[in-house]
Structure 1
C-alpha cells in the first residue's frame, strides 16, 4: 500500500487488526511501526519474524523514502531529519496515535530523529543495535576482533570512503559477520530490494552518518525506551548502546544486553528478544 507523506509516496504494509473483539466490546491494540536498517534495505528484513507480535500489536511495516518500494523524493531529502519527519507524517496520514516505534540499526537513527524532533508523539521507543553517535575506529576494531585483519581492512575501505566497489567486497566478506549464528532464513537477502545509491549518499565519516549526533538531543525524550544490543555486533558495538543509554533521561530506559549475539539480536536470539519486546509493549 502507498501513502503520500511530505511530498513523497511511501510504501507501507499492515499486519493485524487495530480493533479486536473482546467480550462485549472492541479492544484497541497499540500500533508498532517497524523502521528498517540500511539505508538501502527495506521492510522485508522484519518478515516473517515480527509476526510473532501480531497478537498484541497492529504492525506497520515502512520502507523509508529512497528505500525499497517507496519513491525517492529529492536526493537532498535523504537525511535523518526528513526520514524522522516522515514517521510523524505517516502517523498523521494514517491516523495513528501514540505509536510504539521500533528502530533497528539505521532505523534506530531514524527513530532518534523522530523522537527528538517530535518529543512525546510516540508511546514508547525500542532501539536495537543502533547508536547516537558513530565511532568509526571502534567499528574497524570490532570487525578485526570478530573477523580478523582482512575483515577490518575491508570494513575500513568501505566505511571510510563508500563506493560501489568497496560495498560489494563489504557485502561479501563483512556482512556474514553481523550474525553470531548461521541464518535460518537464507532467502531473506534475495527478497530485499537493496539500494546502494542511498547508502553511498548517507554512509561514511564525510556524509551524514559521520556528522549525526543525537547525544544531547536524547535528553528531550519523554517516553519509555527499551534498548537491545548484542555483544558480538561488529557494526554497532555494545559501547554505542551504552553511550545511548547514558544520554537518555534517568528512569525512562531499560537496557538489555545479549551475550554472544550479533547485529539486530532478533536473528540470533529471537525467543528472548521477542519476550522482552512483548513485556515492554504490555507494560503500563
Structure 2
C-alpha cells in the first residue's frame, strides 16, 4: 500500500553530499517536483499532507536542506547560504537520477530555488514561486519592514515591549524579543487566525525549527536588517534571459510576501513565460486556506509543462 501524507513522514532516507547527509522523502509517480521549504531553518514536515494533492500525477520530493529537519547541521554558520542550498538541490537531483526537475519554492524556499535557477537552469523544467521572495531587498521589505509595521499597528502593547528591550541595546535575535514577535506573528500568517486547519508538526528535537540557520541567513538582528549570508542577494541580472515557465502565487492578504512582491518578481523575469495568480481569500499559505483552488492552479500549470 502506498504511503501518503503524514504517513510518509519519517520513512524516507538520506543521500550523502560533501556537506553531510541530506534527508528526503518521495511520494507519487510521474515527472519530479521538488518542494523547497520555507524558513530558513524549517524542515518540510508541515507540507504533509497538503501537497499529496499533486502526487497523483507527479513524483514529489520532500527534503530538508542544510541545518533543517533531519539533515546535517553545519559547524560553520556561514555554510548556511544560498549557493550551498542550491548545491544540495543539485546533489539530490543527481542522486535520484532525474534529468530535469520542477521546483516549488515556498516562502523563503523561493530564494534557494532561484539560486538553483541561476546556476543549474538546464535542469529546470518549471518553476513555481509560492508566496516567495526574490532578493535580500524583498526580504527586508516583507519579512522585516512590513511585519514590523503590522506588529506596531495591530499589537502596540507588544511593540512597546520590543522597543523597551531595543532601547537597552538588545538585538532581535535575543530570545526575549523573539518570544514577543512570536505572540503576534502566528496570527499574521492567516486571513482568519481563529479558524484555519492546523499544520503537521511532528515531535522531537530534530523536527524543531533551527534558529541558528535563520540567524545565519538573516543576521544577528534578523527582525531589523538583513546582514547575514542573504545580504546582497539579487539574481535580477542573471535571470534577465531566464526562459523557464514560471508560476508566481500570492495571497491577497499576505503580510510577509504581499502581492506587491509577486509583481516585482514577475517584472524581474522579462523573458520567461510567467503566470501570476493571486488568491483572494488567503494570506501566506494559500495551499492551506484555499487548498482546492491552489492545487488546481499548480496542477494545471505543471501538467501544461509536462505536455
TM-score, normalising length from structure 2? 0.80
Contact 2:251 2:286 in 1 (8 A): yes
1:138 aligns to 2:146 (yes or no): yes
- Which one of the candidate residues 237, 260, 264 is aligned to 1:239? 260
- Which one of the candidate residues 177, 186, 198 is aligned to 1:166? 177
- Which one of the candidate residues 197, 204, 207 is aligned to 1:184? 197
1:271 aligns to 2:292 (yes or no): yes
Contact 1:142 1:235 in 2 (8 A): no
Name the counterpart of 2:212.
Answer: 197
Name the counterpart of 1:34.
Answer: 35
Contact 1:139 1:236 in 2 (8 A): no
Name the counterpart of 2:97.
Answer: 95
User: Unpaired segments of 5 or more residues in structure 2?
Assistant: 1-12
Please identify, of 205-214 and 124-133, the stretch whose mean Cα deviation from structure 2 is larger.
Answer: 205-214
Q: How far apart are the structure 2 equivalents of 1:151 and 1:214?
A: 36
Aligned residues: 271
SS at match of 1:97: coil
Name the counterpart of 1:6.
Answer: 18
Name the counterpart of 2:54.
Answer: 53
Name the counterpart of 1:230.
Answer: 251
Q: How far apart are the structure 2 equivalents of 1:240 and 1:13?
A: 31
Superposed structure 1 runs of 4+ greater than 4 Å apart: 142-145, 150-158, 189-192
Deviations along 1:165-204, one digit per CA (max 9) or x if unpaired, are 3222222321221011333125537584211111122123
Please identify, of 227-236 and 185-194, the stretch whose mean Cα deviation from structure 2 is larger.
Answer: 185-194
SS at match of 1:67: coil
Q: How far apart are the structure 1 equivalents of 2:152 and 2:56?
A: 41
User: Unpaired segments of 5 or more residues in structure 1?
Assistant: 18-28
TM-score, normalising length from structure 1? 0.86
Name the counterpart of 1:72.
Answer: 73
Q: How far apart are the structure 2 equivalents of 1:196 and 1:13?
A: 23
